[in-house]
Amino acid sequence: MRTRTSSITDELLKVRMGGTGALYATEQMIDHDYSIDSADDKRRENYIKLIKASIKNLKEFMEKFNNRDFTNFVLKLERELLKDLEEQFYYEELSDNIRHEMRAHIIFSRERLAKESNEVDTGVIDKVFRGLK
């Protein structure tokens, strides 16, 4: 039994389908990451509300308790919690920026792959027609 040798068209299709498949899989992972981030944003909003309410309650208790050591503790804790929130916002922004860049790169790569595939197809068709003349 003879096996069919692969043609240039077969090879082009393998490359095109491989590239398209890789881009699709990466895009799906990015979409999944967006979903996870959305759920995490909701969790973070609740965390921020809880932290702010806790700080408010501690400050009210601090004023009633009127103890220097406790006041120092509450003020230090407040600074640390607010610093933690700022760091969370910073890293969230970095994560969002990378995700947006990846999304833009996928779109660019998909468009580039389509353009290059069309150029190759046009070149192959042109050579075939020139060979027929």
pLDDT in tens, 62-117: 999 889 999 999 999 999 999 999 999 999 999 999 999 999 999 999 899 888 88
User: What integer best gives the mean pLDDT of the chain?
Assistant: 88
Amino acid identity of residue 28, one-letter, is Q
Res 133: pLDDT = 61
Residue 53 · residue 27 · CB < 8 Å: no
Q: What is the mean pLDDT of residues 26-48?
A: 93
Run of H or E including 90: helix 68-132
The per-residue DSSP string of 24-46 comes to HHHHHHHHHHHHHHHHHHHHHHH
The Cα 10–Cα 3 span in angstroms is 14
Amino acid identity of residue 89, one-letter, is F
Residue 123 has pLDDT above 90, yes or no: no
pTM: 0.69
Dihedral, CA atoms, 18, 21, 22, 26, nearest 10 degrees? Answer: 180
